[in-house]
Amino acid sequence: QSATPEPLVRPATSSAQAPPQQTGEGVKVIIRIRPLNQSEVLAEDCTRAVTCMDDYTLTISPDKKKQRSEEACTFTFDSVHQETSTQAEVFEEVGIPIIENVVGGYNSTIFAYGQTGAGKTHTMIGDPECGRKRLAVEGGLAPRVFQYLFKKITEEEQRKRDEYGNPEELHFSVRCSVLEIYNELITDLLNPKEVNLQVREDAQRGAFVDGLKEVHCQNASEALRLLFTGAQNRKTAHTRANSKSSRSHYIYTCFVERTSKSIDGICQTRHSRLNLVDLAGSERNNMSGATNHQLKEACHINKSLSTLGRVIKELLESQKHGGGHIPYRDSKLTYLLQESLGGNAKTTIIANISPSSISYHETLSTLQFVRRAKYIRNNARVNEDSEEKKNIEDLQREVKRLKETITN
């Protein structure tokens, strides 16, 4: 293994030569190993390449006999989920803390990374074919997260009601959106007529997709219905263009707004954004040994994924030398999710891998990719607009104006 890089923070501006700081919180990286599939079990030359050593450590070797020897590569992460790990266990470790953060006002993102067939969609959604009702019970992170989000919201509102006896004191509002990025084109999966939406940025909202449908949801079943609609529209698009699904990124977002009133009548609003990202298959991101032509083609097909790799690389470089340019705007994915990569968000990456020797090279590449990503440091803060803060700012402006009047 190469030397472990030090933690880093995203530079304040892309060109400033700021000295690196060592603050913030690291990106959480979790590995999920899927069971061997039928064709791997039946393949004559297929053995296991990955061995789980404990809850945090795994080794990988192309040769089964060497898996516990020094020749095997060892990796340590925040946790390693073995084949036997259930959807409920993954949700408990990843989903529950994320919802606690979102309800508290922090932006949060979960990425699923890995080669096609490694289990990203299984982890994020579950099997969309199984129908909406079963998805709610047996599904992956998204359906569980949506249900838990509304459960937490109801609990919080109830708690405030018990405290103050007034239901108006705390109110949550949730909007959901579903989009696909394919070949740098953003399609709204809740309104699939919209096929070339643009990412824009403003001071209040940060980066957002202009014109994307954001649907208000009152409860978990409304959110689940949208999730299902998005998944169905995704399937339709997939059937039209074969293998498009593995080359597309899917982003399921919940915008949560929490408005509360203190006893002295001051209003505070917290905004948070939860992104669940089912990334395109990473095999196109691993082109060592490819010809120039293949590289060019791969970059074109998946600019977002290759830019994600470059953003991580540049973030690590900027930690060593300070400053540096982070190419967030070079792709739709990184532009939209820039806060999740070295910015104002709590981020978890789930790397999905196959245990089989057939996938050895792709799995090794996935593990190396996420090992780099775990050294990115984010600076998440509660996103709060307070009436009191606004009043103070207004008064400060007024004092400044009056001072200027006097001196003039």
> Residues 87, 108, 115, 121: which binds Mg ion (CB under 5 A)?
121
Nearer to ligand ADP, 191 or 246 (CB): 246
Minimum CB separation of residue 96 from ligand ADP in Å reads 19
| Residue 282 partner contact from ligand ADP, Mg ion, none using kind-dependent CB cut-offs of 5 to 8 Å | none
Contacts with ligand ADP by CB under 6 A: the residue count is 15
Minimum CB separation of residue 99 from Mg ion in Å reads 23
Cβ neighbourhood burial of 399 (10 Å; 0-12, 13-18, 19+): exposed
| Residue 122 partner contact from Mg ion, ligand ADP, none using kind-dependent CB cut-offs of 5 to 8 Å | ligand ADP
Q: Does residue 121 have a known ligand-binding role?
A: yes
Minimum CB separation of residue 34 from ligand ADP in Å reads 4
Nearer to ligand ADP, 17 or 37 (CB): 37
Whose CB is nearest to ligand ADP?
119
Nearer to Mg ion, 177 or 282 (CB): 282
In the region spanning residues 111 to 150, those forming contacts with ligand ADP, defined by CB under 6 A, are: 114, 116-122, 127
Alpha carbon distance 108, 90 (integer Å):
16
| Residue 297 partner contact from Mg ion, ligand ADP, none using kind-dependent CB cut-offs of 5 to 8 Å | none
Nearer to Mg ion, 115 or 356 (CB): 115
Nearer to ligand ADP, 117 or 143 (CB): 117
Q: Does residue 324 have a known ligand-binding role?
A: no
Q: Are 305 and 285 in contact (CB under 8 A)?
A: yes
End-to-end CA distance of the chain: 67
Q: Is 355 in the site for ligand ADP (CB under 6 A)?
A: no
Alpha carbon distance 70, 1 (integer Å):
11
Minimum CB separation of residue 82 from ligand ADP in Å reads 9
Q: Which residues are at the interface with ligand ADP (CB under 6 A)?
A: 34-35, 37, 114, 116-122, 127, 246, 281, 352
Known binding-site residue numbers for ATP: 114-121
